[in-house]
Structure 1
């Protein structure tokens, strides 16, 4: 075990390297640390290699999909407004006065990043000055520089306030549908990552679309032992249809869904999950899933959105 001072110095050095290394060295260094080999950018075959390729050479459409505000346009035009989480406000600067206009419970999150989210069950029990400071700090962060997921740089930073989907004060389970499209004429290949206790004791369990247990897992994963997780959700056919329609134009897309009060909501769309850090057990599944990931991707430079949501 390293002394705390040595560990702190090590972390500072790592952050300095992440900020200053030339692009080719940065990606190869990070990939090697995660996966114990170098990334083949010329002919990526593994799932992890294709995700790293997306991080380094993103299509313009990736910025729209990753933007939690503008992605609503794509979701609305593809599957309908009924699957959008109701929102209260979108802004590019948060003030104390904004909280006065919000209901007692809501979700506050940044649109240009991952993980910058705060669930407010009762605003009267919160320090609103601290919440204001937190939200504005989010807006100052350039998330694209953290792991060099370049598509985040194309997103205008904003904060969106949404309806809190809570049950007994807790968020619902998170159903992450990983949809792989191999090419024309082939059926999508699907596995589903069910996350429980995201803000407490996190567990993740992997299923196939028939709700059988997947024969692989993540190295960092701890599976749930609660019996109800293994019961097929009655909404599964509708959830699969939503996820497949949203992912249809892409070689791979992760579609995050929630079940709440008998309805299904799209949480977000993800093109570079975990910034390429998923490590599978057994490890051969990295190559297996990579073979299901349609490649090369022939994506349009812009997207014919159709009717736009009435967002600021």
Structure 2
């Protein structure tokens, strides 16, 4: 029975993979939300995210690129908010690691989740590490959930300084969802605070811009139920998130606070590829109303 179910799932995945776009996006939306989405003239937050996945602006490709986005961040808010980088390259060999320090972070610039924290390169099989990086470079991240703006990113591996605590843990993640309604209305912002990333105990909590608990969350994520930890750089993170998102109807800005300094991790236009439904569900329409539409090109440069 188990093998039959596995075969059915495999066949279904193969069918979905081959669906043309006009079939795939409505099907995927219905699969997640249990309703037909208006993807041609989107109103809800979820519909607008799906529309972006299908019909991205050129700016999305540039700013989702973990290498190219560095110039945008530097120009908009300052170089001091960039995580220090050693170099980037379009192919990795064993010799690539010779000029790196013992501890570093290795990332693919054209995807999400293809990240490796190296605590001590002396304890690593460097040939295997190079193979891992080159495997990332060969992968087309855009086809996984059809987030099309990732497709045209020139693929590179970037090596960054590792922002790690005494026990080798990364700092907590402050994800700022910034909505710009336009028409003279004030921006709306909320924070997704991620604690214990890369651990089974990871929690994700949601707060408004006054740091009170948000009256909504994304379905299926584990919450701690605790107040938002207030760090000295929190107001600074809110300020730069608003600045970075200003040209767009919506952007998620990921920040870290490490050794009394604020860093910007990445900018995201289609969080979670639209798979996280808001709870209570009426917030989907409410946040959609705060998301300026139709989309217009953002700041150049």
TM-score by length of 2: 0.96
Task: Select between 214-223 and 173-182 the one with higher mean Cα deviation.
Answer: 214-223
Specify which of 47, 68, 71 is matched with residue 69 of structure 2. 71
Task: Give the TM-score of the pair, scaled to structure 1.
Answer: 0.93
Q: Which residue matches 2:20?
A: 22
| Pairing of 1:227-246 with structure 2 (within 5 A) | 230-246=228-244
Equivalent-residue separation in structure 2 for 1:28 and 1:238 (angstroms): 39
Q: Distance between the aligned counterparts of 2:196 and 2:4, measured in 1?
A: 33
Q: Which position in structure 2 is the counterpart of 1:309?
A: none
Residue by residue, what CA displacement relative to the aligned partner does 1:188-221 show, whole Å, maximum 9, x if unpaired? 1011000011211221000001100001111111
In the alignment, which residue of structure 2 is the partner of 1:48? 46
- Asked whether the equivalents of residues 176 and 191 of structure 2 are also in contact (C-alpha less than 8 Å), the reply is yes
RMSD: 1.3
Question: For residue 203 of structure 2, what is the aligned residue in structure 1?
Answer: 203
Q: Give the C-alpha shift of residue 7 in structure 1.
A: 4.1
Which protein, 1 or 2, shows the higher relative CO under an 8 Å CA cutoff with sep ≥ 6? 1
Superposed CA offset, 1:144-181 (max 9, x none): 11111111111011100000000020000000000000
Q: Distance in 1 between matches of 2:216 and 2:247?
A: 26
Aligned twin of 2:249? 251
SS in 1 for 2:251: strand
Q: Deviations over 1:37-67 (max 9, x none)?
A: 1221222111000000001111101000100
1:124 and 1:130 map into 2 onto residues whose CA distance is: 13
DSSP-derived class of the 2:74 partner: helix
Task: List runs of 5+ in structure 2 lacking aligned partners.
Answer: none
State which drifts further: 244-253 or 114-123. 114-123
CA contact (8 A) 2:137 2:156 kept: yes
Cα separation, partners in 2 of 1:72 and 1:22, compared to 1, 3 Å: same
Q: Distance in 1 between matches of 2:199 and 2:81?
A: 26
Q: Larger deviation: 278-287 or 268-277?
A: 278-287
Give the corresponding residue for 2:170: 171
**Conserved 8 A contact 2:90-2:156:** yes
- What CA distance in whole angstroms lies between the structure 2 residues aligned with 1:8 and 1:267? 38
The equivalent of 2:190 in structure 1 is 191
* Contact 2:26/2:39, CA 8 A, preserved across alignment: no
